[in-house]
C-alpha cells in the first residue's frame, strides 16, 4: 500500500501527475463519502472498501463491502477520526452481500443511516438504521424500506422541512431491471439497450415524517437538455448512471451525479426538488479509478466536495476519500474541478 504522503501516481497516459488533494485517512480504504455537518462537526458516511479477492466485473462483484465506519473531523483540514464499526452486515437481518454507498440524516434527536445492500435473493434494496449518535453504532430496521430498490441513497432535507431520497444506479446497481416497476431477474446487465429512448432516470421519493418510509412511490428525477427533451440512453457523457446528490443554492435545486462508464461528475438544475432538472455540464473531470462518487456541503459559507479516488492502492475497488473546495460562479454554474494539478 502506498503511504498517504505520496502525492504522485501514474495516470492512464503514463505521465507523473500531482493530485489536487490527499486522502483523508490511510488506515482503511473508504469510498462514496456522504458528508454532513451535525452539531458543528463534520461527519463523513463512506463505504468501507475491502479486498474480498473477487475478480473485477461489470456487475461490481468485487465491491464486496461488509461494514461501515463513520469518519469525523472538527473542521476541513483538521484531524480525521475513524469512529470504528457503525453497522455490520451480520446485524442487518435481510442482508445478503455488498454494503454499498450510504447516506445519513438527522431529525428530532435521531440520526438515520440509509444503506443499499443486496438481499438474500441478490436484489439491491435500501435499508435504514437509527442511532442517538451521529457516529453510531446504528441499529438496522428488520426490513428494507418498502418500495425501495437499487443503490446510492442521497437524502436531502429542504428548507420547508420535507425530506427526499434520491437513489439508483444502472449496471451493477440494477436500476435497469426495475423499468416495469417490478424486478426482472433476467433483465439487462448494463442499461436499457434502447439507445434512442430516454435514459433511465435517477429516482426521487418523499420520505414520511418518520424518516423510515416512502410517502408514495418513487418518481423519475428526469434530466432534460436545454430544449427540455430528456437525455437519451446513448448520451453516455451526460446521462445519469449512479451516485446522485442534491444541494440547494440560491433557491435552485442542483442534482449532481456520476456518468459511470464515462467517469464524469455532472450537474443539472431544477426549480423543484422533484425536477425536471436541466443538464448544465461537467463539474469534475475523471478521478483515478473507474468509479466517481461525491457529496457537496456548505460549511461557514464555503462549499466543499467530498469525493474518492484510488491514490493509495491503484485498485478500482480499494478507494480513499478526499475533500476539496467547490465554487459556484456568479451565474449559478459550478467551476470545473480537475482532480489532478
C-alpha cell at 90: 451480520
Helix, strand, coil % in the chain, rounded to nearest 5: 5, 45, 55
**Interface with ligand FUB (CB under 6 A), residue from 30, 34, 47, 176:** 47
Determine if 259 is a binding residue for ligand FUB (CB under 6 A): no
Number of residues that bind ligand FUB (CB under 6 A): 13
Q: Which residues of 309-332 are buried (b: 16+ CB within 10 A; e: fewer)?
A: bbbbbeebbbbbbbbbebebeeee
Determine if 280 is a binding residue for ligand FUB (CB under 6 A): no
Residue in this structure with the C-alpha cell 446528490, named with its chain if needed: 245
User: CA-to-CA distance for 315 and 261, rounded, in angstroms?
Assistant: 16
Interacting positions 145-204 with ligand FUB (CB under 6 A): 151-152, 169
Determine if 289 is a binding residue for ligand FUB (CB under 6 A): no
Q: How far is the CB of 74 from ligand FUB (least distance, A)?
A: 27
Pairing status of strand 223-224 against strand 277-284: parallel
**Catalytic annotation, pick one of 49, 152, 191, 242:** 242
Determine if 243 is a binding residue for ligand FUB (CB under 6 A): yes
Nearer to ligand FUB, 136 or 172 (CB): 172
User: CA-to-CA distance for 116 and 273, rounded, in angstroms?
Assistant: 22
DSSP letters for 166-183 = EE--SGGG-GGGGTTSS-
Annotated catalytic, 56? no
**Interface with ligand FUB (CB under 6 A), residue from 24, 32, 44, 270:** 32
Q: Length of the chain, please? A: 341
Nearer to ligand FUB, 177 or 293 (CB): 293
Determine if 309 is a binding residue for ligand FUB (CB under 6 A): no
Q: How far is the CB of 46 from ligand FUB (least distance, A)?
A: 9
Contacts to ligand FUB by CB under 6 A: 31-32, 47, 63, 100-101, 151-152, 169, 242-243, 291, 293
User: Would you please indicate which residues are annotated as catalytic (active-site) residues?
Assistant: 32, 242
Amino acid at each position: 500500500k502506498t503511504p498517504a504522503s505520496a502525492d504522485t501516481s501514474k495516470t492512464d497516459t503514463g505521465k507523473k501527475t500531482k493530485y489536487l488533494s490527499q486522502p483523508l485517512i490511510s488506515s482503511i480504504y473508504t469510498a462514496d463519502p456522504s458528508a454532513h455537518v451535525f452539531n458543528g462537526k463534520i461527519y463523513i458516511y463512506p463505504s468501507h472498501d475491502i479486498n474480498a479477492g473477487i475478480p473485477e466485473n461489470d456487475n461490481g462483484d468485487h465491491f464486496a463491502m461488509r461494514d461501515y465506519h463513520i469518519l469525523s473531523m472538527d473542521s476541513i483540514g483538521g484531524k480525521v477520526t475513524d469512529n470504528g464499526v457503525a453497522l455490520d452486515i451480520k446485524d442487518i437481518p435481510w442482508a445478503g452481500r455488498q454494503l454499498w454507498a450510504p447516506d445519513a440524516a438527522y431529525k428530532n434527536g435521531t440520526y438515520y443511516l440509509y444503506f443499499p445492500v443486496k438481499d438474500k435473493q441478490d436484489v439491491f434494496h435500501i435499508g435504514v438504521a437509527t442511532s442517538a449518535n451521529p457516529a453510531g453504532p446504528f441499529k438496522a430496521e428488520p426490513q428494507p424500506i418498502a418500495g425501495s430498490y437499487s443503490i446510492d441513497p442521497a437524502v436531502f432535507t429542504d428548507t420547508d422541512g420535507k425530506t427526499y431520497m434520491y437513489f439508483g444506479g444502472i449496471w451493477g446497481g440494477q436500476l435497469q431491471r426495475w423499468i416495469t416497476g417490478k424486478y426482472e431477474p433476467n433483465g439487462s446487465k448494463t442499461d436499457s439497450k434502447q439507445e434512442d429512448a430516454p435514459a433511465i432516470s435517477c429516482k426521487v421519493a418523499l420520505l414520511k415524517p418518520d424518516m423510515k418510509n416512502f410517502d408514495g412511490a418513487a418518481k423519475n428525477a428526469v434530466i432534460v437538455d436545454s430544449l427540455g427533451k430528456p437525455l437519451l440512453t446513448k448520451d453516455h457523457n451526460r446521462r445519469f448512471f449512479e451516485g446522485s446528490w442534491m444541494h440547494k443554492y440560491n433557491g435552485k435545486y442542483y442534482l449532481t451525479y456520476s456518468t459511470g462508464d464515462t467517469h464524469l461528475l455532472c450537474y443539472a438544475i431544477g426549480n423543484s426538488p422533484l425536477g425536471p432538472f436541466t443538464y448544465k455540464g461537467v463539474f469534475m473531470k475523471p478521478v483515478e479509478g473507474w468509479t466517481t462518487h461525491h457529496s457537496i456541503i456548505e460549511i461557514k459559507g464555503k462549499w466543499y466536495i467530498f469525493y474518492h479516488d484510488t491514490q493509495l492502492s491503484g485498485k478500482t475497488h480499494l478507494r480513499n476519500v478526499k475533500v476539496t473546495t467547490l465554487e459556484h460562479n456568479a451565474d449559478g454554474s459550478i467551476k470545473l474541478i480537475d482532480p489532478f494539478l
